[in-house]
Structure 1
Amino acid sequence: MAWLVIGLLSAGQVGAADTAPCVTDDRNREVCLERPAERIAVLSPGATELTYAAGAGDKVVAVVAHSDYPPEAREVASVGSHTRVDLEALVALQPDLVIGWVTGNPAEQLETLEALGMAVFYIEPRDVEGVSRAIERLALLADTREEGDRVAQDFRDGMAELAARHADSAPVATFYQVWDEPLMTVNDEHLIGKVMAMCGGINVFGDRSRLVPRIDDESVLAADPEAIVAGGMGEESRDWLTHWQQYPTLQAVARDNLFFVPPSLIQRPTPRLLEGSRILCEKLEVARGRR
């Protein structure tokens, strides 16, 4: 622990400034800085995208594995993965703000950083407005409000337009596969579930109590969705959909309604969710046309 204390003290004290930003994070904690952040560590790929979207990309000094968008994020020092952060490497980079993931980062590691006096801002957008609000709050902390507010509003407007376009679409019973082993899906409270509903999809596992419930093939067969939508292990990998072709009696298979959406566009709560939502809505429209 001594190395953490030494590393933190070497960063110096944050000086006073005319602007001392304060925001409430997604754990309902007030996070206040003595001056706008200049050295930001982001501990999930989604948080990386959101921070760049907020106009603060040039302030990012640390990311974690799979922080691949925007491309310039790949050049930033990595401090491990979202499930295990290298605390020594992180502290050595002297961040004045750490962006944590509520349910994705190890709680004990972020608590250690907080105990050492680091400002930790937790995010986990659960709906469309949450994405915009995350961008706005990050922009406030980094003093990049002009760009952040513009990006946030563009996202709001784009999603509102898409929702209006599909408001009267005929429902499509849909299964979204978020992982393969173990087989996992999302419920209606998950952001992906909300996008599905916006597109006119009826989530066949929407009433499950867990945000990301584990299921099995038999559950999918019993639900008999009209469409199956999956991400994959990469941006071009459709392998997960091949698995379902062994069940020709499934409606989705019989009608060739096995659809792929690049996972980074639909599984990260960032402005690119607008692009992923458009793709999902288009896929469900194809399913309607095959009735």
Structure 2
Amino acid sequence: MAASLLRHLTLALLPLAAAPALAAERCAMDDRGREVCLDAPASRIAALSPGATELVFAAGAGERVVAVVAHSDYPSEAAEVPSVGNHTRVDLEALLSLEPDLVIGWVTGNPVEQLERLERLGLPVFQIEPRRIEEIAGAIERLAHLAGSEAEGEAEAARFRQGMAELARRHAESAPVSVFYQVWDSPLMTINDEHWISEVVRLCGGVNVFAELDRLAPRIAEEAVLAADPEVILAGGMGEEKRDWLDHWTRYPELIAVDRDNLFFVPPSLIQRPTPRLLEGSRLMCDALEVARGRR
């Protein structure tokens, strides 16, 4: 590992005069509010979260991804890319051996000390964390700019925006439905109104019963759900087809959601990753709320 670190440290200390001409330089602001600049379009990209991997592929730069982390399972091509650990602990030696010229980090998901170390070694680190629907489209466009795949990225961002806008128009006059979205089971967790999932709930005509809580993904007591008595309970679960979390609530037949059988499963990868597949997850959520309206 020492040799790899020394090589990258040496590159970081090269004089500015040795850098390529700035004519091809491209810069973008990341979600830390820092400008990241490249001398030329990125050709070897490391994506350090499953969501980052999806976004890079969506930006039209999938063939340039040389490193991913565990659970980067979409698109299928991502499974063929070398994995360098997981989002909470990256194998830096393995990462550096792949010689990336751009690292896509996760603001609150990757260890700060590892991202800072990569920056000290001279690697451009572009950190992302979309929290709103529009920020997902914006992230695709910024990544496409850094990779020089603007045409593909802008087309995908436009498709995503158009699809979400169409859903919003379709449900603009829908009757409100109170919703509890369960993001985790132990500890029991939900989302507040700052989260993109809550934005989808609103887009579908729903009302997040825990919208006013302070934390983005707060822990709550089971008693709080019983007191809120939502008309709909939505959950992802530990897998793409597991409804175990919803089954738990059937022990409370007094809940409106249980009494009306308004317990709906949405595959977590479609709703809990801030990627273009959120459009598919949003359609499923909107369909679920429409079913709940019909059961009144």
The question of a shared fold, defined as TM-score above 0.5 by the shorter chain, is answered with yes
Task: Give the corresponding residue for 2:36.
Answer: 31
In the alignment, structure 1 segments of 5+ residues that lack a partner are none
**Change in CA separation of 1:149 and 1:249 when aligned onto 2, cut-off 3 Å:** same
Aligned positions, number: 291
> Which residue, 249, 261, 264 being the options, matches 2:266?
261
TM-score when normalising by structure 2: 0.95
Contact 2:9–2:122 (Cα < 8 Å) also in 1:
no
1:80 aligns with 2:85: yes
Q: Please report the TM-score for the alignment, with normalisation by the length of structure 1.
A: 0.97
Aligned partners of 1:7, 1:224: CA distance in 2, in Å? Answer: 59
Deviations 1:83-135 (A, max 9, x none): 11111111111100000011111111101111111100011111111011100
1:159-201 C-alpha deviation (Å, 9 max, x unpaired): 0111011111111110000111111100011010111111111
Residue of structure 2 aligned with 1:60, choices 48, 65, 68: 65
- Give 1:102-113 correspondences, 5 Å limit: 102-113=107-118
Aligned match of 1:219: 224
Gaps of 5+ in 2: none
Partner AA of 2:65 in structure 1: V
1:126 lines up with 2:131 in the alignment = yes
How far apart, CA to CA, are the structure 2 residues paired with 1:16 and 1:235? 47
**Cα separation, partners in 2 of 1:276 and 1:227, compared to 1, 3 Å:** same
1:270 to 264, 272, 275: 275
Cα pair 1:11 1:94 within 8 Å, conserved: no
Confirm or deny: 8 A CA contact 1:199 1:281 kept in the other structure.
Answer: yes
Amino acid in structure 2 at the alignment position of 1:5: L
**1:7/1:92 contact within 8 Å kept:** no
Cα deviation for residue 8 of structure 1 reads 1.8
| Whole-angstrom distance in 2 between the partners of 1:163 and 1:116 | 45
Q: Which runs of 4+ in 1 moved over 4 A?
A: 9-14
Report if the CA contact (8 A) 1:259-1:283 is conserved: yes
Cross-structure match for 2:6: 6
Residue 15 (structure 1) shift: 3.8
2:141 aligns to what SS in structure 1?
helix
Using the alignment, how far apart are the partners of 2:43 and 2:180 within structure 1? 43
How far 1:229 sits from its partner (Å)?
0.1
Residues 1:209 and 2:197 are matched in the alignment: no
What root-mean-square deviation, in Å, do the aligned CA atoms of Structure 1 and Structure 2 show?
1.5
Percent of paired sites with the same residue: 68
